[in-house]
Amino acid sequence: MVPSNRAPSTRRLRWAALPIGIAAAVALAGCSTTELHGFLPGFTDDGVAATNHTDMVAGLWVNSWIVLLVVGIVTWGLMGWAAIAYRRRRGQSGLPVQLRYNMPIEIFYTIVPLILVIGFFAFTARDQAVLETQTENPDVSIVAIGKQWAWDFQYDGQNADASDAVWTMGVQAVPAANGDVDQAKLPTLYLPVDKTVKIKLQSRDVIHSFWIIDFLYKKDMYIGRDNYWSFTPTREGTYAGKCAELCGEYHSAMLFNVKVVSDAEYEKYLASLRAAGQTGDINKAYDRLANLPGTGATTNESGE
């Protein structure tokens, strides 16, 4: 008789799970692209991510939160159940029966957290390996230099000595009286859409951190150690960037813009820098300007 009693129960559970699954599918289908990606920046309603890695980063973020939410619901449910099932009844006194040295339970709450930690580590290491793989022969090579408190950008050419490179030096953001920042005066990094990009990250003074918010990734910049970041921008537009490492008094003013443009517009921009005479090794140009009377390392910028 035992099997006959279990079969209807199993069928009832299946029928109960069906509407729950349908409701979950309908709810997810009604979510916007932003909601499906955990409200992270870098996505628009057309579904095109900002870079070739943005989807992967968002996936790790969202799936981690889903797992943690399930763990939280189970934990909260068990806590609530224990509080209700083992509450003191009327007429009871003293301590309830104590449960000690229950080996199955102890194994359970040791193994499950271990599995979760190993799983999070494995998926994070897998995605980090992809993010940190550098392109050997990128379409575009750029040097981004952080300084107190602005950014310089050099677009490398074909020559190893950077004699055919072009560059732009930026100034720190100066908010207006109402607190707004003039976006047109911020340093701007130009990137061609759908082209592989490799950025060398350097610092002139202290530790900075290069963060393009919508790209969902940032990397630190150190004195004497170059960092690299390889990716492919996949959607045209203007994106906000900033320093993500406290680097001094005007850290909050260390802002920049990123413009992902067509290949033709990118080449036109580089041509405008050549026409302005902003060519060669940016470090040599920076040193020359820094030694001019009345100028300093953070006020000698040529601008866009």
What pLDDT digit, counting tens, does each position of 150-208 carry?
999 999 887 777 778 999 999 888 877 777 787 778 999 999 999 999 999 999 999 99
Tens of pLDDT along 41-83?
877 777 788 999 999 999 999 999 999 999 999 999 989 998 8
Question: Amino acid letter at 197?
Answer: V
CA–CA separation, 15 vs 1, rounded Å? 22
The residue with greater pLDDT, 176 or 137, is 137
CA–CA separation, 202 vs 37, rounded Å? 31
Query: In the chain, what is the greatest distance between 2 CA atoms, to the nearest angstrom?
Result: 99
DSSP bridge partners of 144: 153, 201
The residue with greater pLDDT, 172 or 19, is 172
Instruction: State residue 279 phi and psi, 5-degree precision.
Output: -125, 165
Tens of pLDDT along 202-224?
999 999 999 999 999 999 999 98
Rounded to 10°, the helix 54-85/103-131 angle is 170
CA–CA separation, 32 vs 41, rounded Å? 13
Q: Is the peptide bond before 76 cis (omega within 30 degrees of 0)?
A: no
User: Taking 90 as the threshold, does the pLDDT of residue 92 lie above it?
Assistant: no
CA–CA separation, 169 vs 211, rounded Å? 18
Q: Closest by alpha carbon to 51, among 211, 196, 154?
A: 196
Report pLDDT for 1. 47
The answer to whether 154 touches 139, Cβ cutoff 8 Å, is no
Given pLDDT bands bounded at 50, 70 and 90, which one contains residue 294?
very low
Report pLDDT for 11. 58
CA–CA separation, 202 vs 6, rounded Å? 67
DSSP character at residue 48: -
DSSP bridge partners of 145: 152, 202
Question: Amino acid letter at 109?
Answer: Y
Structure tokens at 301: 């910028």
CA–CA separation, 276 vs 285, rounded Å? 13
CA 75 vs CA 72, 81, 103: distances in Å: 5, 10, 19
The residue with greater pLDDT, 16 or 230, is 230
Given pLDDT bands bounded at 50, 70 and 90, which one contains residue 302?
very low
The residue with greater pLDDT, 284 or 244, is 244
Q: Is the peptide bond before 149 cis (omega within 30 degrees of 0)?
A: yes
Report pLDDT for 111. 94
Query: Does pTM surpass 0.95?
Result: no
Q: Which residues of 210-246 are buried (b: 16+ CB within 10 A; e: fewer)?
A: bbbbbbbbbbbbeeeeebebbbbbbbeeebebbbbbe
State the average pLDDT over residues 224-236: 94
Report pLDDT for 286. 78
Report pLDDT for 24. 54
User: Taking 70 as the threshold, does the pLDDT of residue 17 lie above it?
Assistant: no
State the average pLDDT over residues 98-104: 80
